[in-house]
Amino acid sequence: MPMMRSGLFLASVVAIVQASPACADDVTQRRWLAGDHHVHSIYSARYETNPEHPERMPQPVIGGDSSHTVLKNAQMARRFGLDWMVSTDHGGPGHSALNHDRAWPDVVAARRAEPGMVLFYGMEFDVPGGEHASLILPIDPTERGTLRDIESRFGKREAFPADASRTTKPKMIEALRYMTKLSAAPVLIANHPSRTASGFGEWGLHTPAEYQAWQKAAPNVVIGMEGAPGHQAARPETGADKAHGSRGLYGGFPTMGGFDQMVARLGGAWDALLGKGLHWTITANSDSHGHWREGGADFWPGEYSKTWVFAAPNSADILDGLRKGRVFVTTGDLIRQLDVTATMGQRSSPVSAASMGGTLAMSGGDEVDVVIRFRPARTPNAFGQLPKVDHVDLIAGGASGVEGDANGSTRIVRRFTTRDFRVDGDDLVVSHQMKVPKGTIYLRVRGTNTQQGEPEPDVAGEDSWRDLWFYSNPIYLSVG
């Protein structure tokens, strides 16, 4: 029997396995929407101190860190196929007022100018005791004041003179607990997780255990981390440090296929977090400050990386999709749609089914039918190339013996090559039936245009357009 069209099938699966507060209209209108949650504007300012009066608060230099306006970012995002975007500026002393007084009106104006774009107001939060995280505010009447309150209370660089109490990890837990009690709680995503790592499997400012503590403190706020960081257009510069020639500006240990080592390493940190029972979603973004044609290290929003969310085209359901893990990520427009479903029983009349972000209840030894449907690129990407998927991996992992930052139970269940791809309309489809061993708790998928068995460490100056990957977020299995 021919399979149902992917959008209708996925919508029905979501309705079966995910009790969602979204209205019925949202469920029926859901489709894959591309976005970027980490984009900088002219209000990501540098700060200058008056050398004659160092006791005075440093003043922001508008456009000092990024020369792009909020509107320009939104326009370029639309040009490169995005449906949603988050404006995420960071700053220094008193930046909460700059965001409130100047960035907010520009976001409102850009919403009017680009009505087809769902434009969120947020910031790249200066994490107490760490680096950065994308903070996304629900679009509602309180968003302007809420962001000012969060940044003014907890932003690491907000105070002048500097306040040492703002630079501690317990302060971040305090901030998260504050956020979780808000009437309209934000979404928080850890940015460039291991950019400060000193080596392979050696963490810098953030560890997987810390991220676990974040989610424990605010499970309705903290959803995951960047899988593929921005700054993917970085090229070596004479006289610049090692980081400025590396994808992601990762100087300690490089990205792998453009993805952070926490995600790219099979059985690594991401798999360890999943193995400990976390619902932990990965994303991709531009981290756009300065475009590579302007001498910067970045692509425009959507030009290279996309985070796809299965949602109705409204802000509330997009945030619901992020929170629930109805998300996949891709670079270089390698694919434009990805549906992964796990079904018990006949596909034509499923007894039980789940899709990305959902949970499938089953017993150890039960058989599950996994169907992977993806839509390959049909038109050239922003670099003028038409990439082709070389292979797709179905990956499974469990919780048995998970300790520390690795998960030894993670394995490739099956690798699908072009010989296995079945054409169904605009899509390619592969499937696999497997018995689920007791202890298996998640399934996920990745694919690439390369012949690499595992993502290899990126070399400074390499062509990022030749090294493309996509990753699904997990389907969770509740195995009795």
Q: Which residues contact 405 (CB under 8 A, 6 or more apart)?
A: 201, 203, 207, 208, 209, 268, 269, 272
Q: Distance between CA 466 and CA 384 in Å, rounded?
A: 12
What is this structure's pTM? Answer: 0.93
436 CB-near residues (< 8 Å, 6+ apart): 362, 364, 365, 366, 367, 368, 396, 477, 479
How far is it, in rounded angstroms, from Cα 124 to Cα 87? 9
DSSP 289-302: SSBGGGT-SBPPTT
The answer to whether residues 138 and 179 touch, using CB atoms and an 8 Å cutoff, is no
| Domain 11-479 indexed as CATH 3.20.20.140 | yes
Query: If we measure between CA atoms, which residue out of 243, 245, 229, 238 comes closest to residue 292?
Result: 245
Tracing tokens 């963490």 back to the chain, one arrives at 203
Looking at residue 22, what is its pLDDT?
62
Q: Can you give the pLDDT at residue 440? A: 81
Strands (E), 49-150: 59-61, 84-89, 118-126, 132-136
Give the pLDDT confidence score for residue 7 in this predicted structure.
Answer: 43
Please tell me the predicted confidence (pLDDT) of residue 4.
37
User: Which sequence spans correspond to the domains of the chain?
Assistant: 11-479
Closest residue by Cα to residue 152 from 262, 144, 406 = 144
Rounded Cα distance between 324 and 177, Å, is: 20
Over its C-alpha atoms, the chain yields an Rg (Å, rounded) of 22
**From CA 472, how far away is CA 328, in angstroms rounded?**
4
Each residue's pLDDT expressed in tens, for the chain with a length of 480 residues: 333 344 433 433 333 333 335 677 889 999 999 999 999 999 998 999 999 999 999 999 999 999 999 999 999 999 999 999 999 999 899 999 999 999 999 999 999 999 999 999 999 999 999 999 999 999 999 999 999 999 999 999 999 999 999 999 999 999 999 999 999 999 999 999 999 999 999 899 999 999 999 999 999 999 999 999 999 999 998 777 778 889 999 999 999 999 999 999 999 999 999 999 999 999 999 999 999 999 999 999 999 999 999 999 999 999 999 999 999 999 999 999 999 999 986 544 456 899 999 999 888 788 999 999 999 999 999 999 999 999 999 999 998 777 889 999 999 999 999 999 999 999 999 999 999 887 789 999 999 999 999 999 999 989 999 999 999 999 999 887
In Å, how far are 206, 207, 211, 393 from 405, measured between CA atoms?
12, 8, 11, 22
Q: Could you tell me which residues are beta bridge partners of residue 368?
A: 434
What pLDDT score does 402 carry? 77
Alpha-carbon torsion, ordered 97, 150, 129, 95, to 10 deg: -10
Classify residue 459 as left (phi > 0), alpha (psi -120 to 50) or beta.
beta
- Residue of 112, 42, 100, 96 whose CA lies nearest to 73: 42
